[in-house]
Structure 1
Amino acid sequence: MSSDLEVSALAINVTIPEALRWTDMRRGQEFQLTTLNVRLLPDGHLAVKAYGRPVGGGRGAYVSFPVPDDPALASLVAEAADHAGTLWAAHQGLG
């Protein structure tokens, strides 16, 4: 493998289980958070944002929110990152 190979992004999307979902407000509109976007940073740490849609429906934007400091959500993020690493390591090349 080339030592000058640069990978610019490693990210996964994780569906938030129903029991861990929450709502948040943005510009007077309530959103239900249903998806986490987890990124692996160059220093090896993880960064995460939550995404959701307006509770009232409609064509509201897909908006990002901070993830609350919750041990269950932190565990979900860590488990998802570990699982993604296993999946990446077992890839079978281009189809």
Structure 2
Amino acid sequence: MSDAPEVSALAINVNIPTELRWTDVRREEEFTLMTLNVRLLPDGRLAAKAYGRPTAGGRGAYVSFPVPDRPEIVDLVNTAAARAGQLWAANSGIDG
């Protein structure tokens, strides 16, 4: 039996650069997608969902959207995951 703690989730939030943002429609309301939530799955693959704000303004609902299979978005996800790995590896521990 391993003494390693069981980590149930590894996730990061990534801001989508302005030039890579896109719009999508949910419940007849258009959203501009501005952030990605990227999760590391148990098998080592990445999964991502996009979140944003109503294009017309206001708060809107907190709903996820699929991430398009565009090379520049895939590159953003992969680069952000690699950067997150570097940051986690270089952590200086918890203050307490």
TM bin, normalised by shorter chain, reads: over 0.9
Question: Which residue does 1:2 correspond to in 2?
Answer: 3
* 2:92 aligned partner, one-letter code: Q
The answer as to 2:23 corresponding to 1:23 is yes
Q: TM-score, normalised by structure 1?
A: 0.95
Q: Secondary structure at the match of 2:7?
A: coil
Determine if contact 1:16/1:36 at 8 Å carries over to the other structure.
Answer: yes
After alignment, is 59-68 or 71-80 more displaced?
A: 59-68
* Number of residue equivalences: 94
Deviation track 1:33-77 (CA, whole Å, cap 9, x = no partner) reads 000000000000000000011111123112210000100000000
Q: Which range is displaced more, 51-60 or 71-80?
A: 51-60
Structure 2, unaligned runs of 5 or more: none
Alignment of 1:16-95 (within 5 A): 16-95=16-95
CA distance in structure 1 between the aligned counterparts of 2:77 and 2:59, rounded to whole angstroms = 28
TM-score by length of 2: 0.94
Structure 1: gaps spanning 5 or more residues: none
Amino-acid identity (%): 68
Query: Runs (4+) of structure 1 moved beyond 6 Å?
Result: none
Offset of 1:2 from its aligned partner? 1.8
Q: Kindly report the root-mean-square deviation, in angstroms, between the aligned alpha carbons of the 2 structures.
A: 1.1
For 1:48 and 1:33, locate their aligned partners in 2 and report how far apart those are by CA, in whole Å. 13
